[in-house]
Structure 1
Amino acid sequence: METARILVVDDNPEIREIIQILLMGEGFQIEQAGNGTEALEALEIQEFDLIILDIMMPGMNGYQTCLEIRKKSNAPILFLSAKGQESDKTLGFSSGGDDYLVKPFSYNELVSRAKALIRRYQIYKGKDSFSANVETKDSFAGQKKIVYFHDLELDETAETVSIDGKTIELTDTEYAMLHLLVKNRHQIFSAERLYEAVWDESYYYGANNTIMVHIRNLRKKIEKDPKNPELIKTIWGKGYRCD
């Protein structure tokens, strides 16, 4: 398997160097960027399997940079910030981030989060991990594998989602979450089960808010009326389900 590439974006060169040393020790290829502009320039040159992004940077802050990155890449984004309030995390997820780590962080926590995000991203770049119980059709033209759900078409080969032929831009996490729910329609996924399946790590206090933000963002993109969702339904006290 090709070595995973990580882009570390932080205006503090010492922090970039520390992260690079830690992750290179785990066998990853590391590139550095000192600000949002440099990060976007790096994405024009090559693809990455993970982007570690600071929030407080001169020029474009991390949230703004994340929004611009999402126009170019669906690679997972791990926010790294001293801002640890729930409102900060919510804003990070709403900007298109996949995970959020508060400074100061431990070596084990950084490596664990990075590995989990990369592993999940690589899985959803071409492997089908869940059994199908929705209509699936193989297209001989290009060997596409399409899953149909209401007006949605999930192309499992390209990992894209479209409605009436129009592609819907989803983050890697949003696609993984939707794919899981659609492929297991009628099953109720609690926040804990959904988090552990999509993030591929143990549930922790506060992860429920992470799930809610991602579900809300996903509904904004695929539902005709996000406030009255028909595709992803909330089963109060139990979790979420696609019908």
Structure 2
Amino acid sequence: MSAALQIDGLSFAYGAKKALDNVAFQVEPGECTILLGPNGAGKSTLFALITRLYDAREGRIALCGFDVKQQSLQALAKLGVVFQQTTLDPDLSVTQNLRYHAALHGIGKKQADKRIQEELERLAMYERRGEKVRQLNGGHKRRVEIARALLHKPSLLLLDEPTVGLDVPSRQAIVKHVHDLVKQQNLAVLWATHLIDEIDADDSLVVLHKGQIKANGRLAEILKNTGWADPGQVFQKLTQSDKGGTA
């Protein structure tokens, strides 16, 4: 069975400035991988390459075995994305936003409405399906975006700092929901963040700093191999300077 996401030898530069330098890792089905790094680490560039907003000249990205460059349609059909900035239409209702997304993926109205109900009920948002998006708070908008990203049954969910600016209860609810999806639906997740408390003990961890991977593996294994106490110490040790190797 192919990895949900396979990245090999990926490099990217903005002119003379190198944003990613020989990045390589994979995300398996049923695995939540936390992409941890400070601002400017290269997380957003990596997501832009996975989603083909940018094209990489060096390296390879594959989704469920499909090359993102050579087999774009098949690859991107496996992908659900929640970007850092909201992309919902504020003047449409929750249901209208989700139906529009479903139509883009060729899902018929009957099937779309069934999936919309399923995803919104999981997120305790079905009763608000008729409200305009502009009436929702930040946490509820995020729930709608997660529901939208899952409508076409992707194999990999990309989350680009989805809880930035949310209150603690909203953040905790989204973290729990995503981890439940991983366990219950065998979903693969790549979650970009710089917030340590969003990491679950069973997660895998990729630490990205200045475009290079500084650690890659199961959190428990990284802690055991380094002797560090928690993911906060991992983050601090690996991103405070250019000294130190890869865990």
TM-score with structure 1 length normalisation? 0.31
Which structure would you say has the larger RCO, counting Cα contacts within 8 Å and 6 or more residues apart? Answer: 2
